[in-house]
Each structure stands twice: as structure tokens, then as C-alpha cells.
Amino acid sequence: MARSGEHVRRLLAIYTGGTIGMRNREGVLVPESNLLTTLRKLPMFNDEEYSREHQLQDDTLALPLTNQNQRIIYTILEYDPLFDSSDMTINEWIRIAQDIERNYEQYFGFVVIHGTDTMAFASSMLSFILGNLQKTVILTGAQVPIHTLWNDGQENLLGSLLMAGQYVIPEVCLFFQNQLYRGNRVTKVDSRRFSAFCSPNLSPLATVGVDIIVNHKIMLKASMNKQLMVHSNMERNVGVLRLYPGISAALVRAFLQPPMKGVVMETFGTGNGPTNSDLLSALKEATERGMVIVNCTQCLQGSVTSDYAAGMAISDIGIISGSDMTSEAALAKLSYVLGREDLTLKDKKELLTKNLRGEMTPQPERVQLSLRNSKFAQLITNFLYLNCSQDLDAVRDSLTPTLACAAARMGDVEALEAIIELGGDLSESDFDGRTPLHMAARGGHVDAVQCLLSHGANVNSLDGDRSSPLLMAVKGRHKDVIFLLRDAGAQLSPPELQDAGTELCRLAASGDRDGLIAWQRAGADLFQTGYDGQTPLQVAEDAGNQEVVNFLKSPWDGGQV
Ligand SMILES: NC(=O)C[C@H](N)C(=O)O
């Protein structure tokens, strides 16, 4: 019997291995069984009197009473064999999920004791394997074994038990160094320090100090009345490919061969990669075969965007943006989504762009900015319709360029038409000097470009960087848009034409025939020289890019699009 007023919470602690329980054997650390014996000797992990009085089972210990009068009792389920986490695979993570499922009703929450080396993969995988989670699952471990004098294991394990015993956080979390993180947002960043993990794109779910500060706002909401669902059909044929400058197309091609079904491609900066045509063909062949490729940045922090031509080249061949996901989360998501046999390839690709378990930050602007659909935009629209004083005309005039640019960027023709109905001027530029036509051309949105042109958009306006809409289309290699703009009288500006030589030489050097064709269709002179006086043809010959050499010798024959 519990003392009066005492709340008893039962937890299951699944011990899979890792440094936390390791011992030094012949000079190296190896996993060691019987973690419970070590914990039994540590008073903060074992209220001996309570255990005796309540005759707890041999595999179960009780923490001393918390300040809130809570009694946390935990049972240890120890794996045999135990693992250094470098040996963990999807199979072991599914086993953990199944153990949670088997014990789901008996326990208030779950702690998974795991090695740190692959813990970010484990917590990411488990977040997808465990569907409809309504209870707390916390992964933890240590950099130094728990039985040593100076260690981080005691604090990490105790903190995890206290968090899981006191709060319902219906997510797979990772607790380390007083921070509770969302499991699919973390990555291991230090091999020696106690603060081994960070969550670069999402603040911690909770921080433990004198007080426990829980960030309720960002927590996932439990899907009530739905039963826990273990997705054990995870696709194993997924991998991670890290790009580096000069990576060969042959290597990429070899990596993308069957049985591989999905790949997380780690790219530079905001999602960029080499634009040489060989490499792009290797990627395109793979996506056309049905391979699913997700683009994640190698940067620790930030997101994949569509700011650069080098990034647009990648998105044009069917590669999915991983937004601000970690590679670990993207790999886990791929494994989960590709394992969903109920979905078509198209549905799987669609699902990958969605935020499923809090693993990515939804892009509000991209998600819903349609004047007809978004609540915010609707409010503005109604406001503008209903009020027609001079002041409101001014408000309308200052808002519409920004809204029109956002709509054009997404190719949202419906929204553009709504803005026209409002009387907005589609040639007006936003605060960066870009017009909707720049944005539509940059995104390769043929319908939006057509709509803007038919409503009198200025085809040769220059943005704040003195770039024309035509240059935007060239950088994105959007040949249809280039044709449309040229038909409407678009021309590259004199400075753009002047600077083209160096860019053309760069494309010739990297064998980028498509890039050269885009410039040619936009009216650039393919024979002009770069900064060092060489022509693109000379550069291509020096680089041995025969395909480009042939094209440059007779551009109007070889440039079929
Ligand atoms: N700190 C650790 O737990 C590292 C260990 N190699 C593991 O991942 O199992």
C-alpha cells in the first residue's frame, strides 16, 4: 500500500546497452549486464525501505518520494545480449517498440537506456515506428559509466525517470544533460562532453534546473482514442549519401543502384549540389526509376530552401526537400514512409513533404498562402473588399505586392486572380524590388507566368539586385518559362549579358549543357569570353567535355529541348 496522498507511477526501463552500464575489460569498455545491481546500491535510485515494505519484484526498484509526493517505481527489462549502440539496427529498434507495445497498458511511461553513438537514429526511428503514442517514451544514456565516481549517467537516468514519471509527453524524447528534446530533432554533436546532443532547429521540450520548465506549446498532442500502432514494416533499403565537392557521377550512380529504395542526400548550405550534368543525370535516372531522394542540408542548423540555381537544379529532377529535418530524422521517415505498402509512390512522396511527428517545421507561407484558403489572407481580403476609403486603398496597395509575390512564388494562379479582382497592380515590386513575375519565373511556374503576362506585368523589370525575370528562369533552367518570356519581349539586361561570359565558361567547365541551352534560349551569345579571355568552347575543350564541345560548335542543331 502506498502512504496516504502518495501517487504511484510505474515505469518500464528498457536497458539495451551503451556506455552507461559498461565496464572496462582488458582496456576497453564493453556492455555489462545487471544494471539493476548497480542501481540498487545507489540511494537516489533505490528507496530500500519502501522496496522491502512493499515487497517489490527482483527486477523492480522505487525512487525516493518526489517533492510532489510521487512514488516512481521502475522495472528494468534488460536485453541479452546488450549492445554498444554502434551495433543497433532497425531490427533492435522495432524490438524496443514491440516491448513497449506489449507493456503499454501496465506502465505510465517508458525509459529506453541506449548507447549515445546512434541514439539520435534510435529516437528518430522510434518516433516513426510508434504511431498514435499517448504515453511518454524517453531515451537516455551516458558518456561515462554510471558506476564511476564522476559520471553523467546518474543524472541522465534519474532525470529521465523523473520526467517520464511526472509528465505525460506523448512523444519519443531524448533526455541528456538536463534537457528533454524531441527525439527526431536531435543529433550527437560531441563525443566527449556531457552535453553530447543538440536539437538545432527546435528548442527543448523541457529544461530541468531548480525548476522544471516545460514548453507545452511545442509538444505534440496525443491522438486520443486511437490505439498505439507499431509500424514494424520499416524499409531497410534506405541510406545516406553525403555530397562533397567533386563527387563523381559514377560513385553516385553506384550508390543509387537497387536494392536501394530511398536515399537521404546531404547537400551543401541551403540544399545545393554540383550542377554538372553527369551528376544530375545520375540522380534523374534514379528518381525516374522510382528511387526516392530527400535533400537535407549538411549544415547543423537551418533549412533547405530554393534560393540558388544549384538547389533548383536538384529540385527540378524530382528530389524532395527535407526542409529542416536532421539526416537521422529524414532516414527514419524514409524508412517508415517507404514501408507503407498501402500507399502509391506518389502518395509516399507527398507524405514525405508533410510534418508527421514534429520532425520538420511546417512552412506556413508555403503550406497555405492562398487568398481563398488561408484564414489570414481571407481576413485581409474581406477587410479590403468591405472598406473602400482612400486609406484602405493605401493599405491594399502596400499589401498586394507582398501577397502577389508569395502567390507567384508558389505558382498559385487562383490567388493571383483574387489579387487582380481586388484591383492590385501585379507589376509592383515587394520590399526586395522583386515583382511577382520574378518569383513565378524563378519557380518555373508556367501558368502563373502566363497569368501575369496576360495582365500586363512588366516583362523587363529589374529587382533590387538588377536581375531580370528572364535571368531567374535561366538560373532555374525553366525552358518553357524562357520561351514565354522571350515571346513577350523579354531580354537579358545589358549588365546580365556582359557578365554572362564568365557564367557560360563555368557551365562549359562543368559540362552543363542544359545550363548553356537555357542561356542560349534567353539570347546570350555563347561565344563571348569569360573573365580570363577564354570562350566557353575553349574551356569545354580544355576540360574534355565532348558533349558540350559538340553543342557549342553547332548550338542551334544540338540545343533541342
Ligand atoms: N556513450 C556511449 O554510449 C557510446 C557507446 N559506444 C554506445 O553508443 O553504445
143: CATH: 3.40.50.1170
381 and 438 housed in the same domain: yes
Is 2 within a domain?
Answer: no
Q: Beta-carbon neighbour count of residue 421 at 10 Å?
A: 11
pLDDT category of residue 375 using cuts at 50, 70 and 90: low
Residue 390 pLDDT class (50, 70, 90 cuts) = low
Burial of 426 from C-beta contacts in 10 A (0-12 / 13-18 / 19+): buried
Q: How far apart are CA 470 and CA 491, in angstroms?
A: 7
Same domain, 409 and 535: no
* Judgement on whether residues 156 and 221 belong to the same structural domain of the protein: yes
Residues 106 and 247 in one domain: no
Average pLDDT, the chain: 91
How far does the chain reach from its first CA to its final CA, in angstroms? 80
196 lies in the same domain as 69:
yes
For residue 465, name the pLDDT band (cuts at 50, 70, 90): confident
| Residue 190 · residue 177 · CB < 8 Å | no
CB 454 within 8 A of CB 426: no
Of the three residues 331, 360, 389, the one that is the final residue of a domain is 360
Are both 287 and 198 inside the same structural domain?
Answer: no
CA 441/CA 446 separation, integer angstroms? 8
Kindly state the cell numbers that stand for 347. Answer: 502518395
Residue in 16, 75, 116, 297 annotated catalytic:
116
Question: 436: Cβ below 6 Å to ligand 1?
Answer: no
Asked if residue 412 belongs to a domain, the reply is yes
Ligand 1 contact via 115 beta carbon (within 6 Å): yes
Q: Does some domain include residue 1?
A: no
Q: What is the DSSP letter of 149?
A: S
Residue with the bigger pLDDT between 366 and 352: it is 352
- Domain stop point among 229, 248, 279: 229
Residue 429 binned pLDDT confidence (cut-offs 50, 70, 90): confident
**What is the residue range of 187's domain?**
7-229
Quick check: CB of 156 below 6 Å from ligand 1? no
Percentage of the chain lying above the pLDDT 90 cut: 74
What integer pLDDT is reported at residue 365 of this predicted model?
46
Q: Looking at the structure, do residues 379 and 502 belong to the same domain, yes or no?
A: no
Bridge partners of 214, per DSSP, are 206
- Within a domain: residue 298? yes
Say if residue 117 is in the same domain as residue 190: yes
Give the count of alpha carbons within 13 A of 51, CB side only: 18
Q: Which of 229, 247, 274 is the last residue of a domain?
A: 229
The whole-number average pLDDT for the span 475-488 is 93
Q: Which tens digit of pLDDT belongs to each residue from 98-136? A: 999 999 999 999 999 999 999 999 999 999 999 999 999
Please check whether residues 397 and 545 belong to one and the same domain.
Answer: no
Q: Is 402 a catalytic residue?
A: no
Cα 242 from chain centre? 15
Instruction: Give pLDDT, residue 559.
Output: 41
Task: Measure 531 CA to ligand 1 centroid, in angstroms.
Answer: 53
Task: Write out the three cell numbers for 357.
Answer: 511527428
426 and 313 inside one domain: no
Quick one: 69 and 158 in the same domain?
yes
Q: Say which of 19, 60, 187, 535 is annotated catalytic.
A: 19
* Measured distance CA(263)–CA(261) in Å, rounded: 7
383 falls in which pLDDT band (50, 70, 90)? low
| Average pLDDT value for residue range 229-234 | 98
Residue of 84, 89, 146 to test ligand 1 pocket, by largest number of atoms within 8 Å of CB: 84
Q: How far is the CA of 154 from the centre of ligand 1 (A)?
A: 15
Q: Let me know if residue 501 belongs to a domain.
A: yes
| Whether the predicted pLDDT of 28 surpasses 50 | yes
Angle of CA points 470, 475, 481, to nearest 5°:
45
Per the annotation, the verdict on 529 as an active-site residue is no
**Residue 95: what pLDDT?**
98
Q: With contact defined as beta carbons under 8 Å apart, do 176 and 156 qualify?
A: yes
- What confidence tens digit (pLDDT) does each residue in 150-163 have? 999 999 999 999 99
Provide the number of structural domains found in the chain.
4
Q: What is the DSSP letter of 150?
A: S
Residue 116 is labelled as binding a ligand: yes
What ranges in 435-535 are assigned the alpha helix state H?
A: 436-443, 446-454, 469-475, 479-487, 494-509, 513-521
Question: Of all atoms in ligand 1, which is nearest to the CA of residue 119?
Answer: 8
Mean predicted confidence (pLDDT) in 465-480: 92
Domain co-membership, 298 together with 246: yes
Q: 180, 185, 199, 116: which is closest to 151 by C-alpha? A: 116
Query: Are 94 and 131 spatial neighbours (Cβ–Cβ below 8 Å)?
Result: no
Euclidean distance between CA atoms 75 and 58, whole angstroms: 9
Pocket of ligand 1 contains residue 85 by CB under 6 Å:
yes
CATH number of the domain to which 265 belongs:
3.40.50.40
Question: CATH number of the domain that 547 lies in?
Answer: 1.25.40.20
Whether residue 20 is contained in a domain is answered as yes
